[in-house]
Structure 1
Amino acid sequence: MRPILLAALVLLAMTAPAALPAQDLDAILARFNAARKTAPEEIAAYMDRAEGCWHFAGEEPYNAARRAEINRALTELKCTTLKADGQALRRKYARSAPALAALDAAAALE
């Protein structure tokens, strides 16, 4: 498992308002990682981007510099278009079960 993914998801789990039970989170992470390995390159890149967006969205802006860093990352990752981009990928890969499974696995982390 990539270290940033693990760190991001642990942080996400800790900051989520209604955190998932550990076993559910483990299953979701396993599904995400398996789907990421077999996803088409374009969807794998989307999953990486989504991972970054979820990570930085859950970060605490404890001072002005950290707030700027978080905002810069969210902008670079184009997080405001993430949902629309995912929907576009769903349309493009509508006939590919592995691609849709990867997108479903990514959506489960939201």
Structure 2
Amino acid sequence: MMMGRHPAKRAGIALALMGFAAPLFAQQPSLPDDVSAFVSRRDGCDHFRGEEATDHDRRAQIEEALNRLCRGSDADLARLKRQYSGNKAIMTILERYEPDIEGDGAAD
């Protein structure tokens, strides 16, 4: 089996890839705390919305993450858009998120 042949090399590659991805997950320091928290939570939500369950355990993990990260995010997004409607930079960030992912039609 080739998986165990070069664990140090594979670990180095994994660390390098994480280093390239780190700026993608870094929060913008100029964002207000409530917007920064929303962006972090909603990005996690959107990640798990795209996950496929490969088995029962993974399905349970995904459902838990969706409940924890996504529930209430439609209302939070609408509230933040109202609160920061006069701030073009923040609105540009908030506009990248779908307004109705929870499916109840209550967003905005």
TM (norm. structure 1) is 0.59
Residue 96 (structure 2) pairs with residue 100 (structure 1)? no
Say which structure is richer in helix.
1
Structure 2: how far apart are the matches of 1:102 and 1:58? 20
Establish whether residue 49 from structure 1 lines up as the match of residue 41 from structure 2.
Answer: yes
Mapped partners of 2:41, 2:52: distance in 1: 19
**Count of aligned residue pairs for this structure pair:** 79
Aligned CA distance change for structure 1 residues 102 and 39 (closer, same or farther; 3 Å): farther
Q: Which residue in 2 is equivalent to 1:60? A: 52
Higher CA-based Rg: 2
Structure 1 residue 39 displacement after superposition: 2.0
RMSD of equivalent CA atoms: 2.9
Return 5+ residue gaps in structure 1 as ranges: 7-29
Offset from partner CA, 1:20-40 (integer Å, 9 cap, x none): xxxxxxxxxx8x97xx51322
> How far has the Cα of 1:52 moved from its partner?
0.5
Indicate conservation of the 8 Å contact 1:90/1:100, yes or no.
yes
Map 1:1-110; keep pairs closer than 5 Å. Answer: 3=18, 6=21, 36-37=27-28, 38-77=30-69, 79-104=70-95, 106-107=96-97
4+ long deviations beyond 3 Å:
none
Q: Structure 1: how far apart are the matches of 2:37 and 2:73? A: 12
Return the letter of the residue paired with 1:92: Q
Query: Which structure exhibits the higher relative contact order, with contacts defined as CA atoms closer than 8 Å and separated by 6 or more residues?
Result: 1
